Structure 1
Amino acid sequence: MTMKKPLSSGGASPAVKNNLHPRSRHRGRYDFPALCAALPELNEFVRRNEWGDLSVDFADPRAVICLNRALLSQHYNVAHWQIPPGALCPPVPGRADYIHYLADLLAADGQNVIPRGPQVSVLDIGTGASCIYPLIGQAEYGWRFTGTETDPASVKAAAAIVSANPGLSTAIRLRTQPDPLHIFRGVIKKGERYTATLCNPPFHASEQQAGEGAQRKRRNLGLEDKPALNFGGTAGELWCEGGETGFITRMIKESAEFASQVNWFTSLVSRKENLKPLYQALRDVGAREVKTVEMAQGQKVSRFIAWTFLPAEKRK
């Protein structure tokens, strides 16, 4: 099943022409005067582009990080946010869309009422140094998050963000995954229940493939002479053995061990052609229900796959 019609609670003006979720705070162009008011440091990077519009140089990692800080400050009440050099710098609007569409998925289990508050417990697999999904999900819906990571440096950076922002320490907890070959084992404890899991899996199958992807991105943007990617990313964030399909397949196999402890397992799937083997893997483990939720940001179409082992009455 593919979900394409999100719930709306106010939404944006119909005059706003883009494909972000109706509840997204990022529909339309960035309001740079408001963003600079939220974070004056952003003024250093804001310039008129060739069309005369205010913008930043998206090829400059410092500008992108500063823009993210301003977005998080203005829209999500995150006053302190910093990531280590080279860490993945996530595009905030796209990450917010995953949260909003996940909220719609959960609402379908509750008479189309979006669940809010700390009774909703979400497990973020590979939360990264940015801790981006917990920050957005907690601000938008008051959900409680557990973020997992295999990289100690990322755990340390995410913990610093959580501790630096008042009120987040009770809403976001972090756990180190002790075995990088496992996903849920070692982090879901006996007796714990989660409303949902989410994940942005490594995209590439090797370091070489990741490097080639980076070169293509620079070439497509006309940035061959630029040495750094604007969104960065460490090895564990960008590639793993088997790539995206291999990672999610391992996730699917392990999820069966925790079938009664999670209402919905979900993961981003960057390539549509990867869905077919994932559907087969879900049939193999006996998933009761599978959904593909489509999302779009401008010309880019993305999606996440969701599966459950529980009947609807046990997901309330």
Structure 2
Amino acid sequence: DAQAKIAYRGIPGLMVPQSISSEDFLRQAKCFTVTLFSDLDFMDLYNGSLELETLPDFLNDLCQADDIEAAVAVLEKYYTEKAAKERADLVLVPSRRHRVFKLATIWLTASVFLLIVPLIYLIFVQNPFKEKMLQADTAFIKVDYSGVITELERIDPASLPNTQKYELAYSYIQGLEFSSEQKKVILNNVTLKSDELYLTYWIQVGRNRFEEALDIAKRINDSDLILYALTQEIKQVREDGNLSGKDRESKLNTLESEYKKYWDSRSELLTSESSSNASTTPNPQDKASESKPSSEKKPVPSSSSSN
């Protein structure tokens, strides 16, 4: 029943329980009450620390009481105030309703969290990404190719929509060191309908990522693109001041050997095609088609560029 009880220790007929004075009883009652409302030890309080501890107001008032009646009055006063406050602030509800409310709160919190995650993604990731796409489109329309590159330079090509991938590849090609005729041939193949790998190749070339460009060229299986990527990578290795002489020589030997292999293979293929064409008399329509640049033709780096 939550009622405190006082126990007397003794042996019936042999040892009478030790008598306790009202002052000692009052001190024990104070220490016991303080122990109930704090983590302090009863014996430490009883042995002298009661007067030294910093306590809440109502416990301080209790400790100032001079007799049992005053102590009871203090406790009754604070009990009445606390009970009135709880009646005003709290409502007694059935345990079942409390469980339902608790579960509903948990599910509501989880739902809010699940909604916040996509909202954060939309605000801090998707919207800035779309804004960059729009800025790149605007720069491309204005023929501001450096602006297109600036807007999209930190975005992985795989994440770019096809339109912006085309714009970025086109912009990078404009800044590469090609003759007007070479650039014209390349740009004839760069359209919104171009293969994504082909567009990505020129993006990687424009970003000086020649190893990635070489890998893409091998996947496309285009010897001209392979040779150009090898040429640029050879140049990059030669200009890399962070490489030791041994590492530079090793890389150059590997790249130049690979360049020679593809160059010889390409030369043999062109020789074979020339021999086949020489043995066949083309009709006028074939001659007309031969006079036009092939839509599949890519720029061919000269053999001297590998040396």
Same fold (TM over 0.5): no
Specify the structure having the higher radius of gyration (Cα): 2
TM-score w.r.t. structure 2 length? Answer: 0.22
By percentage of residues, which structure has more helix? 2
TM-score w.r.t. structure 1 length? Answer: 0.22
By percentage of residues, which structure has more strand? 1
Bigger relative contact order, structure 1 or 2 (CA pairs below 8 A, ≥6 apart): 1
